[in-house]
Chains A and B, each alone.
Chain A
């Protein structure tokens, strides 16, 4: 079901490049004023989806509405209401930060005076006043991304697309971008965020769509997705790596083994009872455990299970 209040609607969207399907019937509904995470491995179709939504790429089939407007027939109306932060800085490298924002403001038809004022305002808000007159070439990666984000916000867009906003940034740059995104959400902007980083989706998104091979394979809140992999788990870390295989045998087919961490993972739907059984079984077998913990599954596990990929491939 879609509603008039939905900021983004994609229904059965397909995009082919020759033989290859980039989007293979993608469905997505994002309610107004929420942050939606689109999670998937490289090549899953995330960027293609964002480029279709931002009117940069024409889809072959399906319905796409952004901020209440059809992107095919009302592209310009859509463009008035969106902001885009792509994977690569979409700013003019030759110009200064201020010149960039001023230029984009004029292209949003704010007029010369308001464009200049808005540029100053955004430089201030994103802590770029000191470097506003320097050429972008001299900016750090984090500063560039912040300027890029500022450029996406010139007209306070109703819908903001963030395509892997922190890819290639150091931890500090990442923290900067996360803080900026959080501050935006309070203002009522709808955000669609694509990411390969599970913690990023976990931290920022209200709901998450897991995308693989051009379609959504799971959707829900982070907690709902975590619940999908069967609830809580027990991690057993054995002291002696040579006992790893025999420890795994104690827990049967459902056990997963991580050799690097000397860890056996077991589903534990009944939590404490399962923990007691595990400790007793280890003791009986004479296997010494360094650590035994009950925990919620991570989004990593959800992701790996849903996409049927090995950890190495992600």
Chain B
């Protein structure tokens, strides 16, 4: 049993190294991946915040929303990578080798989580440079990063599952288009209070909204967690949403990967 576990670890590390080697060979793509959310942050921060004369205040509101949005957009990156991998013969070679089958998925998830952590560091740095106020202390900041990565981890397994379900790059395009309204249908850019009642209530149930509101509260922005049931239980939702998604899609994704031989 212990040799099997050791094999899983060794093979997972080899598969993670594979992803890191991909980045090394395509540094431009990596940089673009990191810059894209920063561009969105700058764009929305200045277009919407400055336009309404609430620049500094709006940045503090916007950064947590953009961080959560970046985690959700990670879904696309995971889907694209898995779809591309499956379309190639190399997966067949992996599957015909005496390696731990789970290592293929573990390698993918470690690499994606690493990329997302790096992206968070960059975004948080840019956020602070733009005047994002953090009154919550270091422990709260780490807690916020933890919640964000938890959301990303849920998107990761959802992405792997969807990629294997579709098996074709066409569905990735569909998801890429759909992810935008889902991202905007949240509290990332505007407070639910500023929306029509029905819309505001729906928006608060978006997993992205729960994580963003929790990060805002951890930052010390007051008045985040009052009003509706969803708002008052933001922390519960920020943990429960990703956990439920992971509990659902992790086994589904692993099962699909195993059933590639059917």
Residues of B close to A56: CB separation below 8 A: 92, 95-96, 260-261
Give chain A interface residues in 141-193, CB to chain B under 8 Å: 151
**A104 within 8 Å of B (CB atoms):** yes
* Residues B96 and A79 in contact, CB atoms below 8 Å apart: yes
**B233 within 8 Å of A (CB atoms):** no
Residues of B close to A57: CB separation below 8 A: 261-262
* Residues B261 and A55 in contact, CB atoms below 8 Å apart: yes
* Residues B21 and A95 in contact, CB atoms below 8 Å apart: yes
Residues of B close to A93: CB separation below 8 A: 88, 90
**A218 within 8 Å of B (CB atoms):** no
* Residues B88 and A99 in contact, CB atoms below 8 Å apart: no
Residues of A close to B10: CB separation below 8 A: 106, 109
Return the CB mask of A76-97 against B: 1 if under 8 Å, else 0.
Answer: 1001101010111111111100
Residue on B with the closest CB to A59?
A: B261
Residues of A close to B103: CB separation below 8 A: 107
Which one of B11-19, B33-41, B53-61, B203-211 is at the A interface? B11-19
Residues of B close to A109: CB separation below 8 A: 7, 10, 98-99
* Residues A92 and B90 in contact, CB atoms below 8 Å apart: yes
Residue on A with the closest CB to B87?
A: A88
Contacts A58-B262, A107-B11, A109-B7; A95 near B18 (Cβ below 8 A)? yes
* Residues A80 and B90 in contact, CB atoms below 8 Å apart: no
Complexed CA–CA distance, A84 and B93 (Å): 7
Residue on B with the closest CB to A77?
A: B98
* Residues B98 and A54 in contact, CB atoms below 8 Å apart: no
From B17, B89, B261, A86 is in contact (CB under 8 Å) with B89
Residues of A close to B52: CB separation below 8 A: none
Residues of B close to A107: CB separation below 8 A: 11, 14, 94, 97, 99, 103
Q: In whole Å, how far is A274's beta carbon from the nearest beta carbon of chain B?
A: 50
* Residues A104 and B97 in contact, CB atoms below 8 Å apart: yes
Band of interface residues on A:
20 to 34
Total count of chain B residues near the partner, CB < 8 A:
25
Complexed CA–CA distance, A92 and B10 (Å): 19
Residues of A close to B96: CB separation below 8 A: 54-56, 79, 82, 84
Residues of B close to A151: CB separation below 8 A: 93
Give chain B interface residues in 73-119, CB to chain A under 8 Å: 88-90, 92-99, 103
Residues of B close to A87: CB separation below 8 A: 89
Return the CB mask of A37-77 against B: 1 if under 8 Å, else 0.
Answer: 00000000000000000111110000000000000000010
Residues of B close to A76: CB separation below 8 A: 98
Residues of A close to B98: CB separation below 8 A: 76, 79-80, 108-109
Residues of B close to A103: CB separation below 8 A: 14, 17-18
Return the CB mask of B1-35 against A: 1 if under 8 Å, else 0.
Answer: 00000010011001001100110011000000000
Residues of B close to A54: CB separation below 8 A: 92, 96
Most buried by A among B25, B88, B89, B262: B89
**A135 within 8 Å of B (CB atoms):** yes
Q: In whole Å, how far is B6's beta carbon from the nearest beta carbon of chain A?
A: 10
Complexed CA–CA distance, A91 and B26 (Å): 17
Residue on A with the closest CB to B4?
A: A76
* Residues A84 and B25 in contact, CB atoms below 8 Å apart: no
Residue on B with the closest CB to A87?
A: B89
Residue on B with the closest CB to A137?
A: B25
Residues of A close to B93: CB separation below 8 A: 84, 86, 90-91, 104, 151
Q: In whole Å, how far is A174's beta carbon from the nearest beta carbon of chain B?
A: 19
Contacts A79-B96, A106-B10, A108-B97; A95 near B88 (Cβ below 8 A)? no
Contacts A103-B14, A109-B10; A88 near B21 (Cβ below 8 A)? no
Residue on B with the closest CB to A106?
A: B14
Give chain A interface residues in 104-136, CB to chain B under 8 Å: 104, 106-109, 135
**14 extra A-B contacts, CB within 8 A, seeds A57-B262, A86-B93:** A54-B92, A55-B95, A56-B261, A57-B261, A80-B98, A86-B89, A90-B92, A91-B93, A92-B18, A99-B21, A103-B17, A107-B11, A107-B97, A109-B7
Query: What are some 7 contacts across the A-B interface (CB < 8 A)?
Result: A79-B98, A84-B93, A86-B89, A92-B88, A103-B18, A104-B93, A109-B10
Q: When A and B form their complex, which 6 residue pairs have the shortest distance between CB atoms, in order from nearest?
A: A90-B89, A90-B93, A88-B89, A79-B98, A107-B99, A106-B14
B-to-A contact residues, CB < 8 Å = 7, 10-11, 14, 17-18, 21-22, 25-26, 88-90, 92-99, 103, 260-262
